[in-house]
Structure 1
């Protein structure tokens, strides 16, 4: 995992867009973002005990694997890629453990409102807190395979950033938790 400020230069969202300014893990922690590295072998094997321990600690009961690629999503690919890159939040945590491929999660820093880009590769596990504005995109390889974990049944309703989302109680709770807002 590598985190840095997004350069905001127009162009393909799948490019690194690296401003050259790194972001330390401590900054991500202040935003409520959690990170682990659990190595994945070239064959896609990983230590299930480590994933299970995190799942127990964070009360994740369900899991599945998603293949985000043209082959994995078929006709829905272009629409999903556009949807994933719209700035949004969820009312539940979003957890991804990268098993193959690579991509980027962008999260909003507060109070600056700058984008922080998080480059993810196999072995990287990330938890985005409920209420954080974020987006996702593949990189130029156009493929990522990720294990998704859920507290209950998957609820992946994206709430795109806007006036009504800014007043969402989950968003309000998130801002309070990170010390921005009441």
Structure 2
């Protein structure tokens, strides 16, 4: 029998289809039976991933190569936990509202872990668990959300092309944004035919995780 080498990224990034339960958002929300999603499948949705050595991020040639190749000029770090984040419970709920950005959302987990949820081709939620050493790129225009898991802690690097813009556009009003239309076109999704006006009530210019 020929053994198939495991992708090292799978040790720090896992993905699965979520159930429809209203239980705590920090729970895994596995289906029964569990239905996992490969990293290759995520890539088909535009979600890219790497495994890096989080213990040497300050002098990591591989991280520097990714930054250079993808033009990530901006970098900072953020900690999300009850002790470090003002209005913690309110912010966690805000991060979990379905939204999109007009630029990539790039996060590199240095400590702890958290969940990034993204919509698939059929508008079904896929939960992506990112742990220490995992770097994830959530493409512009994809509907997504974030929450911590039950450990209630993550420290992550945020990467950005140029100056950071933390604007979130909320569904369904973001359907008509150029970034959304481009995402739908590139990845072959069915475009929502409903039309909604964009106004300040559905745009939030706040510091995002």
**TM over 0.5, shorter chain:** yes
Question: Structure 1 residues 10 and 181 mapped into 2: Cα distance closer, same or farther (>3 Å)?
Answer: closer
Residue from 88, 92, 96 that aligns with 1:81: 92
Distance in 2 of aligned mates of 1:60 and 1:147:
12
Shift of the alpha carbon at 1:96?
0.3
Larger radius of gyration: 2
Higher relative contact order (CA 8 A, sep 6+): 1
Q: If the length of structure 1 is used for normalisation, what is the TM-score?
A: 0.93
Question: What is the Cα deviation at residue 39 of structure 1?
Answer: 2.5
1:135 corresponds to 2:161: no
Q: Structure 1 stretches of 5 or more lacking a match?
A: none
1:141-178 deviation per Cα after TM superposition (whole angstroms, max 9, x unaligned): 1010000001111111111111x211111100011110
Q: Distance in 2 between matches of 1:105 and 1:122?
A: 14
Residue 23 of structure 1: aligned partner: 37
4+ long deviations beyond 4 Å: none
Q: In the aligned structure 1, how far is the partner of 2:83 from the partner of 2:69?
A: 34
- The number of residues matched between the two structures is 176
TM-score (norm 2): 0.81
Q: CA deviation at 1:40?
A: 2.5
Equivalent-residue separation in structure 2 for 1:72 and 1:154 (angstroms): 21
Match 2:74 to one of 37, 62, 74: 62
Calculate the aligned-residue CA RMSD, in Å. Answer: 1.2
